[in-house]
Structure 1
Amino acid sequence: MSRLLHTSDWHLGHTFHGHPRNEDFDAVLAEIVAIAHESRPDLIVHSGDLFHSSRPTGRDLIRAMRSLAELAAVAPTVVVAGNHDSPTYFEFFDLMTGPSVGRGLFFVDRFRPAHEGGVFTFDACGGEQRIRLGALPFVHPNRFWQRSAADTSYNDYAVGMRKLQAELTEAMREGYDPDRDVLFFTAHVYVTGSERSPSERAVDESFETSAEDLPEVSYTALGHIHRPQAVRGPKFTARYAGSPLPMDFGEANDSKSVVIVDADPGRPVRVRTRRLSSGRRLAKFEGTLDELRAEAAQYDGTFLKPLITGEEPDVPLCQKIAEIVPHAIVVKPALAREAVTNAVLDFDPGDEPALPDAFRVYLAREGQSADAVESTVTAFVHLLNEVDDETPPPTPAEELLRAALEDLWTEAS
C-alpha cells in the first residue's frame, strides 16, 4: 500500500498583528516532521504557499529548507509554488536540492509539461508499486490573457486550467499499469464552493476551478485554502490540508492538520487527518473584566482578542487586561458599544463632525482615559494646525515644469 503525507500553506514569515510567530512555526514544523517519521510515507507533498511573502527573510529561508530537508530524509518531498511564493526562488531551490544533486527534494516553480518536470514517478512499497504525481503550481490568470483586434480580455480561466490539468493527467496515464500504479495530483488552486477564511487573499470568482474539472486520480492534494476540508463534488477524493497555524481569528476554532492517504492500485483510498496542536492558540473573549478574571487561566499563552462589556469609556482597558492575563498577547482590545453610549458628539447630527471631535469619540470608544483622550486630541490639533499653516515646497517635477513653461521652445520656421 502506497502512503502519501499532504501538508500545505505554511506561510513562513507570517506575523500576527505585528507579532512574529517564529516559535510557533518552529514548534508546528517539528510536529509535522515527527508525524512523517511516525507514519513513514512513500511520498510527501506540500501544495503551495511555503512562504507568506515572495521575498522571504534569510531566517525564514533557513527554517523552510531545514524542515523540508528533514522531511526529504523520510521520503521524496515535492513542493509546488503557491500564489505567495516566488517562482524564481523555487527555480533556484530546485537547482540546489533537486534531482541533479539527488537529495529527494523537488520544487515546481511554474506549470511545466510532463517532460519538463510536471509529472514525477516514485517507487513505493519496496518497488512493488509506483506512484505517479502530477504537479500544478499556482497559475496566474495572465497566462490566459488573450489579445485580438476586437478586444482585450481574460479568456475563461476555468477552461485554461482544465486544459493544463488534462495535459498532466494524460501524461500521468502514459504506460499506466493498473496492477501497480497509483496516481496522485497536487495543485494550488481555488475550487469553487470551498469554504474560505478571511486570511486568504481575495479570489476573483472569474478565476476559480470547478471540482468536476479536477483529474480523476486516487487523491488530489490541494493548497490555497487555509481551512482544512474535503472538496465536495467529484467522485474521487480531493482535499485541502489547510495551514498548520491559524492565520486570523476567523480560524480560531479550526482543527489544523496534515493528511495521510493510503492507496492501492484500483481501490478507494483511505484518508486520515492528523491533528496539529503546536503553536500559540487564538482566542476571543466577550464579557466583563470580572468574567475575564474568572476565566483567565484558559487564555494563558494565547493571542487574545477581548471585547469588554460593563465598563466606562475612561477605564484604562489595556492595562487592566494585561494585569488579568499577563501571559497572553492582547490584540485589539475594545469596549462593547453599550459601554460607550456617553461618548457622543456635541454637534447637530446633520452636520459633518470636525476631525478633533470625531477623533475624541474614537479614542473614547477604544477605552482611553479622559485625560489621555484630551492630551492626544490636543497634540492632534497642534499637528493639524502645523499642516494648515505650512506651504509645502515644490516637488522636483513641479520645478522642472515651471522652468519649462518659463523658457518655451519655438520651432524654427
Structure 2
Amino acid sequence: MSRLLHTSDWHLGRSLYRRSRDEEFDAVLAEIVSIAQESKPDLIVHTGDLFDSPRSSREKLRAVRVLDQLAAVAPTVVVAGNHDSPDDFELLRYLTGPARGRGLFFIDRFREPEDGGVLTFDTCGGQQRIRLAVMPYVHPNRFWERSMVFGTTHADYAAAMRELQARLTAALFEGHDPKRDVLVFAAHVFIAGTEPSNRRHKGDCERHYPLPAADLPPVDYAALGHIHAPQPVAGVRAGAARYAGSPLQLDFGEAGEAKSVVLVEAHPGRRIGALPRPLTSGRPLVPFKGTLEELAARADEYAGAFLNAQITGEEGDAHLSRKVAEIVPDAILVNAVAAQDASPESVLGTGLDEEPDLSDAFGAYLTERRMSAGSAQDAVTAFTSLLGELDEEDPPPVPAEELLRAALAHPWTEAS
C-alpha cells in the first residue's frame, strides 16, 4: 500500500486586521509535521499558495524549516500557487532541491513531462510507485494572443489547460503498470462547482477561470489547491479528487470551517481511500451580532478566539470597543462596530493615525456611505482583485496598449 499526505494553501505571512498570526502558523505547521511523522507517508504534496505574498524573507525561512522536517519523513513536492512567486520557487529549488541532496521539489511553473512535469517515487521497498504529474497555477495571460483584442475567454483558457494536462497525462500513463503504479495529479486550479469560503473568495477564484471537473485527468487521486474550504470534488468518483484547504481560518469568511490535511492510502488497481486528518491548532474566528447583554451571556464561548463584533442598540462611539473588550477579556477583539452605523475607525479596528489595509479601508468607506452589505462586498472583491494584479508577475493585458504597440511596430504608409 502506498500512502500520500496532501496539504495546501498555507498562506504564510497572512495577518488578520494587522494582527500577526505567526504563533498560530508555527503551531499548526508543527501539527502537520507531527501527522506526517506518525502516519509515515511515502510522499507529501503541497498544492500551492505556500506564501501569502512573495515579499517576506522571514516567511521563506519559516517555510523551508518546516518543509525540511517534512522532507525528512518523505519526499516533499510543492507546486506554486497564484500567490507564490515562480522566481522565488526557482531559487528555493536551486538552494534546497534534489541537486543539493535533499528531498524537496519546488515546481515553479508549468514544466513539460521530460523537464520535471512528471515525477516518479518508489514505495513499498520498490514494489510500488507513485507517479505524479504536477500543474502549478497557470495564469490565463499565458494563452492571450495579440490577435485576441478582448483577451482570453473562459473557453479559451479551459481548452488550453486541457492541452497542457493532456501532455502531462500522456507521459503519466506511458509505461504505466496497473499492478504497480498509483497515479496522482497535483494542481493549483479552480474546479467549477466547488465552494469557496465566501463571496470574496468566489470572486477571486472566478477571476482565475473555473475548469470543469470532467477535465481532470483520469488518475487515482487529484490533489488540488486554491480553494480554502476542505472538500471533495463533485463529478468525479468518490474520494478521487479533493481540496485539502487552508490549515487555519484565514479570514472571517472561513469562520466555522474545520481545517485538515488529507491522508491518502492507495493500492494499485483499487479505489483509493482519502481520509481528512483534522487540524486543531488555529484560533477560531467568530463573528457576533447582538446586544452587549447577549454578548455578556455568551462571553465564555469566545475565550481565545478572534472576535468580530457587531453590536445592536448602541452608538458607534469611541467607547464601544472598550465596552466590548471589558465583556470578553479573553477574546482577541479585531473589530467592534455598532451594527447600524459603523464608522471607518471602528470598522478597521485601528486609530485613524495608523495605516490600515487598503481593502479594509475601502470597505470602511463604503460602510460610511451606507452602501448595502452585499454591494459593498462585491465592490471590495473587485478592488482587491485589482490590487492583486499589482503582484502578478504577468499583468493583465491592456487591449488598447497592445493595438498601439502593433501600430507602432507596423506603421501605415500611403501607397505611392
Residues in 2 aligned to 1:114 and 1:9: alpha-carbon distance in whole angstroms: 24
Return the offset for 1:249: 1.0
Once the two structures are superposed, the pairs formed by residues 181-330 of structure 1 within 5 Å of their partners are 181-198=181-198, 200=201, 202-204=204-206, 207-235=209-237, 237-312=240-315, 316-330=319-333
Deviation per residue, 1:302-354 (Å, 9 max, x gap): 110112123345582111111112232212211232999xxxxxxxxxxxxxx
Q: Using the alignment, how far apart are the partners of 1:226 and 1:69 within structure 2?
A: 24
Q: 2:152 aligns with which of 147, 151, 154?
A: 154
Give yes or no for contact 2:341–2:368 (8 Å, CA) kept in 1.
no
Q: How does 1:83-102 map to 2 (within 5 A)?
A: 83-102=82-101
Instruction: After TM superposition, give the deviation of residue 205 of structure 1 in Å.
Output: 5.9
Letter in 2 for 1:302: A
TM-superposed CA distance for 1:176, in Å, is 0.8
Match of 2:334 in 1: 331
Aligned length: 343
Q: 1:107 to 1:362 in 2, by over 3 A?
A: closer
Q: 1:145 is aligned with what amino acid?
A: W
The one-letter code of the counterpart of 2:306 is F
**Do 1:184 and 1:217's aligned partners in 2 also have CA atoms closer than 8 Å?**
yes
AA matched with 1:112: R
Shift of 1:140: 0.7
Q: CA deviation at 1:151?
A: 4.6
Distance change (3 Å), C-alpha of 1:310 and 1:210: same
Partner secondary structure for residue 205 of structure 2: coil
Q: TM-score, normalised by structure 1?
A: 0.79
Q: 1:139 to 1:318 in 2, by over 3 A?
A: same
* CA shift in 2, pair 1:362/1:265, >3 Å: closer
SS at match of 2:335: coil
Change (3 A) 1:146 1:50: same
Q: Which has the higher contact order (CA 8 A, sep 6+)?
A: 2
Aligned equivalents of 1:18, 1:314: Cα separation in 2: 22
**2:107–2:136 Cα contact (<8 Å) kept:** yes
Q: What's the TM-score once normalised by structure 2's chain length?
A: 0.78
Q: Distance in 2 between matches of 1:123 and 1:40?
A: 14
- How far apart in 2 are the matches of 1:281 and 1:38? 25
Name the SS of the counterpart of 1:143 in structure 2.
helix
Post-superposition offset of 1:180: 0.4
* CA distance in structure 1 between the aligned counterparts of 2:44 and 2:316, rounded to whole angstroms: 53
Q: How does 1:311-390 map to 2 (within 5 A)?
A: 311-312=314-315, 316-337=319-340
> Residue in 1 aligned with 2:41?
41
Q: Secondary structure at the match of 1:239?
A: strand
The 3-state SS of whatever aligns with 2:263 is strand
Deviation digits for residues 129-186 of structure 1 (CA, Å, limit 9, x no counterpart): 01100000000111111233x8563260000111111111110111111110110010
Higher mean Cα deviation, 138-147 or 223-232? 138-147
Specify the alignment match of 1:134 in structure 2: 133
Amino acid at match of 2:175: G
Supply the distance in 1 between the matched residues of 2:17 and 2:342 (Cα, whole angstroms). Answer: 25
**Amino acid in the other structure paired with 1:161:** M
| Kept in 2: contact 1:46–1:80 (CA 8 A) | yes
Q: Is the 8 A contact 2:87 2:108 kept in 1?
A: yes
The Cα shift of 1:301 comes to 1.3
Q: In structure 2, what is the Cα distance between the partners aligned to 1:324 and 1:22?
A: 26
Q: Percent identity?
A: 59
Which residue of 2 is the match for residue 53 of structure 1? Answer: 53
What is the letter of the counterpart of residue 298 of structure 1? E
Structure number, greater radius of gyration: 1
Mapped to 1, the partners of 2:228 and 2:151 lie a distance apart of: 30
Which amino acid counterpart does residue 90 of structure 1 have in structure 2? F
Structure 1: runs of 5+ lacking an equivalent: 341-358, 364-413
Cα 1:176–1:324 change in 2 (3 A) is same
Describe the SS at the equivalent of 1:112. coil
> In the aligned structure 2, how far is the partner of 1:262 from the partner of 1:206?
31
Q: Do the aligned residues in 2 keep the contact of 1:310 with 1:339 (CA within 8 Å)?
A: no
Shift of 1:287: 2.0
Task: Decide whether aligned partners of structure 1 residues 264 and 288 sit closer, same or farther in structure 2, where only a CA change above 3 A counts.
Answer: same
Q: Are residues 338 and 101 of structure 1, via their aligned partners in 2, closer, same or farther at CA, if it must alter by over 3 Å?
A: closer
CA distance in 2: counterparts of 1:251 and 1:165, whole angstroms:
31
State whether residues 309 and 338 of structure 1, in contact with CA within 8 Å, keep that contact through their aligned partners in structure 2: no
Q: Is the 1:286–1:306 contact (alpha carbons within 8 Å) kept by the matching residues of 2?
A: yes
